[in-house]
Chains A and B, each alone.
Chain A
Amino acid sequence: MASLVRSWIPLLILQSFLVAVAFGSKEAEQFSEALLLKPLPDRKVLAHFHFENRAPPSNSHGRHHHLFPKAISQLVQKFRVKEMELSFTQGRWNHEHWGGFDPLSSMNAKPVGVELWAVFDVPQSQVDTSWKNLTHALSGLFCASINFLESSTSYAAPTWGFGTNSDKLRYGSLPREAVCTENLTPWLKLLPCRDKDGISALMNRPSVYRGFYHSQRLHLSTVESGQEGLGSGIVLEQTLTVVLQPETTSVETNMQPSWSLSSLFGRKVVGSCVLAKSSNVYLQLEGRLGHESKNVDTEIEAHKLWKNADFDLSLKPDRVLRESSGLLFIFDIDKSSDSEPFDLGLNWKLPSKWSCQQAPLQASRFLMGSGNERGAIAILLKATESQEKLPGRELTDGRCTIKANIFQIFPWYIKVYYHTLQIFVDQQQKTDSEVLKKINVSPSTDKVSSGMLEMMLELPCEVKSAAISIEYDKGFLHIDEYPPDANQGFDIPSALISFPSHHASLDFQEELSKSPLLSSFKEKSLVRSYTEVLLVPLTTPDFSMPYNVITITCTIFALYFGSLLNVLRRRIGEEERFLKSQGKKTGGVKQLLLRLTAKIRGRPIEAPSSESPAAESSFLSTKLIFKIILIAGAAAAWQYFSTDK
Chain B
Amino acid sequence: MKARVFQKLIGKYMSEMGAEVYYQKFHPEGNQFHPLHFFSGPDSYTLLDNVSCASYGVNVAGIIRAPRGDGKESIVLVTPYDFINGGDYEALSLGITGTLFSLLARVTWLSKDIIWLVADSRYGDYRPVAAWLTEYHSPSFKDSDLLKCGELNTADKFRRAGTMAAALVLKVDGRSERFEDTLSIYAEASNGQMPNLDLINVVNYLAVHRQGFYVKVEKVVSLLSSSWLKIIGEIFEAVGKLAHTLNPDWNFGIPTADYLEGSATLASSLYSQALGIPTGPHGAFRDYQVDAITLKVSPRFPPDSKTRQHDFFLRGAKLLEGTIRSVNNLLEKFHQSFFLYLLTSPSKFISVGVYMIAFALLVASLPMVAASLYIDGCKALNNSTLNPAGNFKSWKWLDAAKQVFALHLFGLIVTLLPYFICQVPGQHSPSNRSIMWGTTSSSLLLITFATIPGCSPFSSRRHGTNWAVLKSVTISAAFIGLCLMSIINFATAEIGALLLVPTCLIVQPIKPALRSRRIKSLLGAFCSMVLLTIGFPVMLFAISKGLFGEGLVGLSLGGEFWTWLESLWAWKSATYLYIGMVHLPCWLLCLCILFHPS
Contact = CB atoms under 8 A, between A and B. Distances in A.
B67 A370 contact: no
A600 B70 contact: no
A358 to B, nearest CB: 13
Interface stretch (A308-316, A391-399, A421-429, A513-521): A421-429
Interface in A407-436: 422, 424, 427-429
Contacts of B138: 368-370
A369 B44 CA distance: 8
A532 B72 contact: yes
B143 A427 contact: yes
Nearest to A211: B68
Contact of B68 (A212, A366, A485, A487): A212
A92 B289 contact: no
A424 B141 contact: yes
Interface of A: 90-92, 94, 112-113, 175, 210-212, 214, 253, 364, 366-372, 378, 382, 422, 424, 427-429, 467, 469, 485-489, 491, 532-537, 540, 600-602
Q: Is the interface of B mostly helix, strand, loop or mixed?
A: loop
Given A364-B160, A370-B137, A370-B288, A537 B247 contact: no
Interface in B95-150: 108, 137-139, 141-144
A491 B162 CA distance: 11
Given A533-B72, A602-B247, 14 more contacts: A92-B65, A92-B71, A94-B65, A366-B160, A370-B41, A371-B41, A378-B139, A427-B142, A427-B143, A429-B141, A485-B332, A535-B72, A540-B335, A601-B247
A486 B331 CA distance: 10
A626 to B, nearest CB: 43
Contacts of B331: 485, 488
B35 interface: no
B357 interface: no
A533 B247 contact: no
A602 B249 contact: yes
Interface of B: 16, 41-42, 65, 67-73, 108, 137-139, 141-144, 157, 159-160, 162-163, 246-249, 287-289, 331-333, 335
B332 A424 contact: no
6 contacts: A90-B70, A92-B71, A214-B68, A378-B139, A535-B73, A602-B247
B67 A91 contact: yes
B289 A382 contact: no
Contacts of B16: 253
Nearest to A365: B160
A537 to B, nearest CB: 7
A334 B138 CA distance: 58
A90 B333 contact: no
Contact of A487 (B69, B247, B289, B332): B332
A372 B141 CA distance: 23
Nearest to B163: A535
Contacts of A534: 72, 162-163
A290 B335 CA distance: 59
Given A91-B67, A91-B68, A212-B67, A532 B41 contact: no
A488 B289 contact: no
Contacts of B73: 535
Contacts of A368: 137-139
Nearest to A42: B18
Contacts of B144: 427
Given A92-B65, A540-B335, A370 B42 contact: yes
A371 B248 CA distance: 50
A218 to B, nearest CB: 21
Contacts of A486: 332
B289 A469 contact: no
A422 B142 CA distance: 11
Contacts of B333: 487-489, 537
B142 A424 contact: yes
Contacts of A469: 141
Contact of A112 (B41, B70, B289): B70
Candidate in B141, B142, B159, B247 with the most chain A CB atoms within 10 angstroms: B141
B486 to A, nearest CB: 20
A532 B68 contact: no
Contacts of A370: 41-42, 137-138, 287-289
B137 A535 contact: no
A91 B72 contact: no
Contacts of B335: 487, 540
Nearest to A426: B143
A367 B289 CA distance: 14
Contact of B247 (A90, A211, A366, A600): A600
Nearest to A212: B67
Contacts of A92: 65, 69-71
Given A487-B332, A540-B335, A532 B289 contact: no
B157 A467 contact: no
Contacts of B68: 90-91, 211-212, 214
A533 B289 contact: no
A534 B160 CA distance: 11
Contacts of A489: 72, 163, 333
B137 A429 contact: no
Given A487-B333, A488-B331, A491-B72, A427 B141 contact: yes
Contacts of A372: 289
A91 B249 CA distance: 55
B45 to A, nearest CB: 10
A371 B247 contact: no
A487 B73 CA distance: 13
Contacts of A422: 141
Given A367-B163, A487-B332, A537 B70 contact: no
B482 to A, nearest CB: 26
Nearest to B142: A427
A490 to B, nearest CB: 10
B162 A535 contact: yes
Contacts of A382: 157
A428 B143 contact: yes
Contacts of B332: 485-488
A506 B248 CA distance: 84
Nearest to B65: A92
Contacts of A366: 160, 162
B162 A429 contact: no
A600 B246 contact: yes
A536 B68 CA distance: 21
